[in-house]
Every structure is written in structure tokens, then in C-alpha cells.
């Protein structure tokens, strides 16, 4: 029997995103019913309210097609904040190719979250939206985030976390994620397996408290944690010590 290595697992995940890149944005909006837009705006606004220094660089890891980068720019403009550069980093060529068409004003780089092509303490803010659960070597990624962030800089994580406790909302969410989402996602993308992966990846991920513990171990202190929409999505903002 051949055991699957971490590298093989990561490669399969990247290939899956390459395959659904063309329909990813449409599927994302339909499946989230557009609610994720407010989640992203809140992440930006809460971070800007905490980080008052001049912003030379915001890095969006696992940037996909660049949605979060767009919201960083939009919310910064609303807040009267100047950002010198917004950089998107993702291992999927398919996703970043779509991103380059959507946002020609941003720079996109192909790279893994565990090996960011950046200098030590070069970024003011680093975000990762619905991507950290897809990083096989998560602890290595957190150490890498700490390396590239300036002291006092912020890591901003939006993610689908595992439920701390199971109640009626868990039953409703579980039904949607496991029964409805794979069908809708499969119809839009013609790749049902990719959208069966989503609920499985959430169940195999962390609770929000476990996520905060791992961040603490990597040198971060959580300043903000909030769950949205029946705990479907969680926002964690943590400062590098």
C-alpha cells in the first residue's frame, strides 16, 4: 500500500482549484448567497481600526481570484487609508489567471503558504480567506506568516471552522453543507467532487478556539474573534507579538 504524502495531498488540492477556477466566483456567490461579501468587509474594517501605522504592504495568501484583495482596496479607500501595495499569493495558476483578469492593478505570485517569497518583517497585514484549512502543513504556514509580518502587524483569517458544540443550527448547517452545497456546486462547476471536499475539509479542520491556540503558539495574540451566520464562518484577527 502506498501512503499519501503531505506533498501529494497539497498537490491534489491545488489541482482541484485549477479545475474549478473558471466557475469559482459564480459558485462562490451562489453558494454563499453573497453573505461572504459582508464578512470580508468586516475583516478589513476591523483590521484598519486596529492597525494605525502607514501600510506599505498587504499580502493576501491563498488569494484565489483576488476577491479579498479587492475588498482591502475598497475598504481602505472608504477609511481614507493609503496602501502602497497589495500582493496576492496562491499556488493555483488557474485561480490567479482569473484574478489577473479581474484585477490587473494587483500583483499575483505563484507560491505555497509555507514558503512565501517575501523578506522578513516586510508585511503590515497578511490575510488568508477560506484557505488555511487547505494548507496541509498549517503550523509551518503560521510560522511563515510570523516571519514575514512586522512586529505589531496583523494576520487576518476568515475560515469555515468546526463547530464547538452541536445544536439545531449545526443540524441545519450540516444538511446544507453535505446535501445541498455539493449538488449546487457540482451543477455550476461540473465538478461535484470539489464541492464534496468542502464539508469534509471543514469537519477535518479546527474549532475557532483550537485555531487561536495554534496562532498563539506561532507568536500571535488574538485581538478579535467573531462567528457569522449560524457559526458558518469565523473571523480571527491576531497581532504579531
Q: Is 14 a domain residue?
A: yes
pLDDT 10s digits, 76-135: 999 999 999 999 999 999 999 999 999 999 999 999 999 999 999 999 999 999 999 999
Q: Is 119 a domain residue?
A: yes
Task: Report the domain count for the chain.
Answer: 1
Predicted pLDDT of residue 180: 81
Nearest to 109 by CA among 86, 136, 133: 86
pLDDT 10s digits, 1-13: 445 687 888 988 9
Q: Is 1 a domain residue?
A: no
Angle at 222 between CA 218 and CA 224, to 5 degrees: 150
Mean pLDDT of 131-145: 96
Domain CATH number, residue 133: 3.40.50.150
CB count within 10 Å of CB 24 equals 22
Classified as helix, coil or strand, 235 is strand
Annotated ligand binding at 129? The verdict is yes
Full domain range(s) for residue 171 = 6-240
Which is more confidently placed, 62 or 25?
62
d(CA 194, CA 230) in angstroms, rounded, equals 23
Classified as helix, coil or strand, 83 is strand
Q: Is 204 a domain residue?
A: yes
d(CA 188, CA 130) in angstroms, rounded, equals 19
d(CA 173, CA 165) in angstroms, rounded, equals 13
Mean pLDDT of 138-146: 97
Amino acid at each position: 500500500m502506498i501512503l499519501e504524502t503531505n506533498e501529494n495531498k497539497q498537490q491534489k488540492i491545488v489541482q482541484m482549484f485549477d479545475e474549478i477556477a473558471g466557475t469559482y466566483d459564480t459558485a462562490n456567490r451562489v453558494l454563499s448567497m453573497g453573505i461572504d461579501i459582508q464578512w470580508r468587509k468586516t475583516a478589513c474594517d476591523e483590521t484598519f481600526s486596529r492597525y494605525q501605522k502607514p501600510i506599505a504592504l498587504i499580502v493576501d495568501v491563498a488569494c484565489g481570484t483576488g476577491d479579498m484583495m479587492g475588498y482591502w482596496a475598497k475598504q481602505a479607500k472608504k477609511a481614507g487609508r493609503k496602501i502602497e501595495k497589495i500582493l496576492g499569493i496562491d499556488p493555483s495558476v488557474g485561480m490567479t489567471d482569473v484574478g489577473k483578469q479581474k484585477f490587473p492593478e494587483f500583483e499575483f505570485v505563484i507560491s505555497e503558504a509555507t514558503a512565501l517569497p517575501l523578506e522578513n518583517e516586510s508585511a503590515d497585514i497578511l490575510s488568508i480567506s477560506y484557505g488555511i484549512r487547505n494548507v496541509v502543513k498549517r503550523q509551518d504556514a503560521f510560522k511563515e506568516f510570523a516571519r514575514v509580518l512586522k512586529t505589531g502587524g496583523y494576520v487576518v483569517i476568515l475560515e469555515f471552522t468546526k463547530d464547538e458544540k452541536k445544536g439545531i443550527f449545526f443540524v441545519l448547517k450540516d444538511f446544507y453543507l453535505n446535501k445541498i452545497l455539493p449538488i449546487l456546486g457540482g451543477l455550476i462547476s461540473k465538478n461535484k467532487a470539489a464541492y464534496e471536499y468542502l464539508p469534509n475539509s471543514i469537519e477535518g479542520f479546527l474549532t475557532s478556539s483550537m485555531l487561536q491556540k495554534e496562532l498563539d503558539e506561532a507568536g500571535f495574540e488574538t485581538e478579535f474573534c467573531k462567528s457569522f451566520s449560524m457559526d458558518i464562518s469565523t473571523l480571527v484577527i491576531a497581532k504579531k507579538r
